[in-house]
């Protein structure tokens, strides 16, 4: 078996922004709206990087380059479906309905970022690598047991496929026919480790064979391919035809986090080549070339995005600070006696300004 032939890359819009496939399921208005979202998300991501460098937020994981996968996945879901993402999947959550300031609040370390709006069917972002994949299977299995027509989708990176949780999740979903869609954002690097040093498989998608589920590969920088593929996959899974593994081949434009320097491990020529097909530029080229949007409309989108992000920064920085002792409040439903004592002691030290009490804000 040649995995590259067995799992061909699904593509509708190529790297140059030329249509090479069928886009009959998506209108000009939808594509324009996707470009508007890409513009807002890219503006937010770049501002977050700058805010971290200014010391206004903590460590931040940029998602630039992966917008097509995240937006395409979120757009294909119904409101009742579950979305389980990692710390890099804020673009999907924002498209799903999470306010724009949440990623900033999260990087400030504020616990309120863990409380997503009730109307958004999604779990808080997961920092533990691959843990959300198991959570998605649990949600999907529960929905099946309750007779609900719900699908659970998990987003994760290629590095997560090296974890046992990934394999356990696929096995359990397969055995239980849990309505789960596993979406691997193969951005080619697990921090500084390239994909070829993580696995000897030619594709992530072929790993589906071991669990007797369907596996697909899609161009993760092509919003048309991701959205249309995910629409088909989600409805197939919703109809009870079993879980699916989707490998979205993409590229992380920036660093792993603001604590990383990708120039130390990514060859410059490779980086320059892979940047050519990034999602925002690709979609913009297509829409401009076909007169679906104008240069003036693109400029207006950029101005509107800047205003929205300015407001998001203002909201995040104006958020009421959380007292240091609140670290005890978000783990157990009821604190143990020892933790109650520790919380009271920290609160006393904070109020008296003693060493070890931390500071508010």
Q: Dihedral angle at the C-alpha atoms of 343, 345, 346, 348, nearest 10 degrees?
A: 120
CA distances from 336 to 158, 324, 340 (A): 38, 18, 6
Cβ-contact 32, 292 below 8 angstroms: yes
Active site residue 252: yes
pLDDT at 330: 82
Give residue 322's pLDDT band: very low, low, confident or very high (50, 70, 90).
confident
Compute the average pLDDT of residues 63-77: 98
Residue 360 has pLDDT above 60, yes or no: no
Q: Domains in the chain, start-ordered, CATH in brackets?
A: 3-317 (3.40.50.970), 321-361 (no CATH)
Q: Across the chain, where does the E strand assignment appear?
A: 9-10, 82-84, 152-157, 180-186, 189-190, 193-194, 214-219, 244-249
pLDDT of 357 over the 70 cut: no
DSSP state of 180: E
Separation CA 124–CA 118 (nearest Å): 12
**Percent of the chain having pLDDT more than 90?**
88
Query: What is residue 358's predicted lDDT score, i.e. its pLDDT?
Result: 55
CB neighbour list of residue 314: distance below 8 Å, 6 or more residues apart: none
**SS3 of 44, please?**
helix
Q: Mean of the pLDDT values across residues 259-267?
A: 93
Residue 237 has pLDDT above 80, yes or no: yes
Query: CA 330, CA 346: separation in Å to the nearest integer?
Result: 16
CA-nearest of 284, 314, 272 to 56 is 314
With H, G, I as helix, E, B as strand and everything else as coil, classify residue 232.
helix
Sheet holding 82-84, edge to edge: 9-10, 214-219, 244-249, 180-186, 152-157, 82-84
Is 265 tagged catalytic? yes
Determine which one of 265, 275, 314, 360 is catalytic. Answer: 265
Catalytic residue among 96, 110, 150, 252: 252
**CA-wise closest residue to 136 among 246, 250, 218:** 246
**Residue 347 CB contacts under 8 Å (≥ 6 apart), including other chains:** 323, 325
**pTM for the predicted model, two decimal places:** 0.93
Check pLDDT > 50 for residue 293: yes
Percent of the chain with pLDDT over 70: 98
pLDDT of residue 361: 43
Per-residue pLDDT reduced to its tens digit, 140-164: 999 999 999 999 999 999 999 999 9
Q: pLDDT (tens digit, 9 = 90+) per residue, 297-318?
A: 999 999 999 999 999 999 999 9
> Average pLDDT in the 218-236 region?
98
Contact 150, 159 (CB under 8 A): no
**Per mean pLDDT, which range of 28-32, 52-56, 239-243, 355-359 is the poorest?**
355-359
- Round to whole Å and give the CA distance between 146 and 141: 9
228 pLDDT band, cuts 50/70/90, is very high
355 pLDDT band, cuts 50/70/90, is low
Residue 184 has pLDDT above 50, yes or no: yes
CA distance 249 to 9: 8
pLDDT > 50? residue 199: yes
Residues ≥6 apart with Cβ < 8 Å to 49: 60, 62, 254, 258
Look over the chain and give the mean of its residue pLDDT values, rounded to a whole number.
Answer: 95
Encode 87-112: b = buried (16+ Cβ within 10 Å), e = exposed: bbbbbbbbbbebbbbbbbbbbbebee
Out of 23, 96, 256, 282, pick the active-site residue: 256
Of residues 4 and 125, the one with the higher pLDDT is 125
CB 107 within 8 A of CB 52: yes
| Tens of pLDDT, residues 23-66 | 999 999 999 999 999 999 999 999 999 999 999 999 999 999 99
Q: Which of 220, 216, 194 is nearest to 207 (CA)?
A: 216
The arithmetic mean of pLDDT across residues 253-261, rounded, is 95
């Amino acid at each position: 078996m040649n995995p590259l032939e067995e799992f061909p890359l699904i593509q509708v819009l190529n790297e140059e922004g030329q249509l090479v496939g069928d886009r009959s399921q998506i209108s000009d208005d939808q594509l324009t709206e996707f470009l508007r979202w890409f513009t807002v998300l890219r503006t937010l991501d770049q501002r977050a990087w700058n805010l971290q460098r200014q010391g206004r937020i903590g460590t931040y994981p940029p998602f630039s380059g992966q917008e097509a996968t995240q937006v395409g996945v979120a757009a294909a879901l119904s409101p009742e479906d579950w979305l389980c993402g990692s710390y890099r999947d804020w673009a999907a959550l924002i498209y799903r309905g999470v306010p724009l300031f949440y990623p900033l609040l999260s990087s400030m370390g504020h616990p309120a970022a863990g409380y997503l709006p009730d109307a958004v069917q999604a779990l808080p972002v997961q920092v533990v690598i691959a843990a959300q994949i198991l959570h998605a299977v649990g949600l999907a299995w529960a929905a099946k047991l309750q007779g609900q027509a719900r699908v659970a989708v998990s987003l994760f990176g290629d590095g997560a496929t090296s974890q046992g949780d990934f394999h356990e999740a696929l096995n359990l979903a397969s055995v239980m026919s849990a309505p789960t869609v596993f979406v691997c954002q193969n951005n080619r690097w697990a921090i500084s480790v390239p994909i070829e040093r993580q696995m000897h498989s030619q594709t992530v998608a072929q790993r589906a064979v071991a669990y007797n589920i369907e596996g697909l590969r899609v161009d993760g920088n092509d919003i048309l391919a991701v959205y249309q593929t995910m629409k088909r996959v989600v409805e197939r899974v919703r109809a009870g035809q079993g879980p699916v593994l989707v490998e979205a081949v993409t590229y992380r434009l920036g660093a792993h986090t603001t604590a990383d320097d990708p120039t130390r491990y990514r060859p410059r020529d490779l980086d320059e080549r892979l940047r050519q097909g990034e999602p925002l530029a690709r979609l913009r080229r297509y829409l401009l070339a076909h007169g679906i949007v104008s240069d003036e409309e693109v400029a207006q989108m950029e101005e509107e995005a800047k205003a929205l992000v300015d407001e998001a920064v203002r909201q995040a920085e104006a958020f009421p600070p959380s007292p240091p002792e609140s670290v005890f409040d978000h783990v157990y439903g009821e604190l143990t006696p020892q933790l109650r004592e520790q919380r009271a002691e920290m609160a006393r030290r904070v109020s008296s300004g003693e060493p070890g009490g931390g500071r508010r804000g």
